[in-house]
Amino acid sequence: MSTTPHTTTTPRKILVLGATSGIAEATCRIWAFQGASLFLVARNAEKLAAVAADLKTRGASYVDTAVADLDDTDQHPALLAHAVNSLTGMDIAYLAHGILGDQIEAERDFNTAAQILHTNFVAPVSLLTWLANFCVQRRAGTIAVISSVAGDRGRKSNYLYGSSKAGLSAFLGGLRNRVDREGVTVLTIKPGPVKTAMTANMPKSEKFADVESVAESIVSAIDKRKDILYVPFQWQPIMFIIRNIPERIFKKLNL
């Protein structure tokens, strides 16, 4: 974990959506050490309370929470307004909400496929629309969103998850193009496989990236107001190669 406290005198006000995900928890631990004010949103009340208590002991200057199903887009405006009021503003919105889903089941059943697309794309678009308009009105703010390298090219092993992240990455690119001139930063985060509870049962998960290192890279990218972050960094050249494999060859690969 980073051992460098944030240098500003006023604690940053950070909204975290999907706060009990492994990457979000690790990122929040860094922000807590820096003395940030945090508003955490997640679905699991018991786990959310445990995360909030841990962040308070680690130095967060303020922690508030809301239990919510972020798939329910009708609740988003009231939820986000409540979070901003609780923080008395917002410097950073960090969206870590998402699911891997069951690729095999999604190939058989459209409802399963639709759920993956809703959680990973439709619901984030609802949240980001509100958050972007809030930041534009104030001509300030950073919106950091976890997408995935899986969105760079569809593969048979996870193309439902990948297509949801491809749509999210495209949306973020367009949003960035719209709001950059308004003083708002949009960061697209593209992790490769990371060791978290969500990936614990995946083959070769012991070789996945360390979540604490990934979190440090995310905090650094936000501080530097970057546009796109591949993390770990080697995924950027790897995905460049994968994106440029001719389709006549790619379709025969077992990926």
Q: What is the DSSP code (8-state) at residue 207?
A: G
Whether the Cβ atoms of residue 66 and residue 83 lie closer than 8 Å to each other: yes
Distance CA 237, CA 198 (A): 25
Query: Does the N-terminal peptide bond of residue 232 adopt cis geometry, omega within 30 degrees of 0?
Result: yes
Is 159 annotated as catalytic?
Answer: no
User: Which helix (H) or strand (E) element contains residue 30?
Assistant: helix 22-33
150-185: b or e for each residue (b if 16 or more CB lie within 10 Å)?
bbbbbbeebbbbbbbbbbbbebbeebbeebeeeebb
Closest CA to 117 of 94, 100, 96: 100
Distance CA 250, CA 220 (A): 34
Report angle CA 214, 219, 224 to the nearest 5 degrees: 125
Q: Which of 94, 159, 161, 230 is catalytic?
A: 161
Strand partners, 65: 40
Distance CA 57, CA 53 (A): 7
Residues annotated as catalytic are: 161
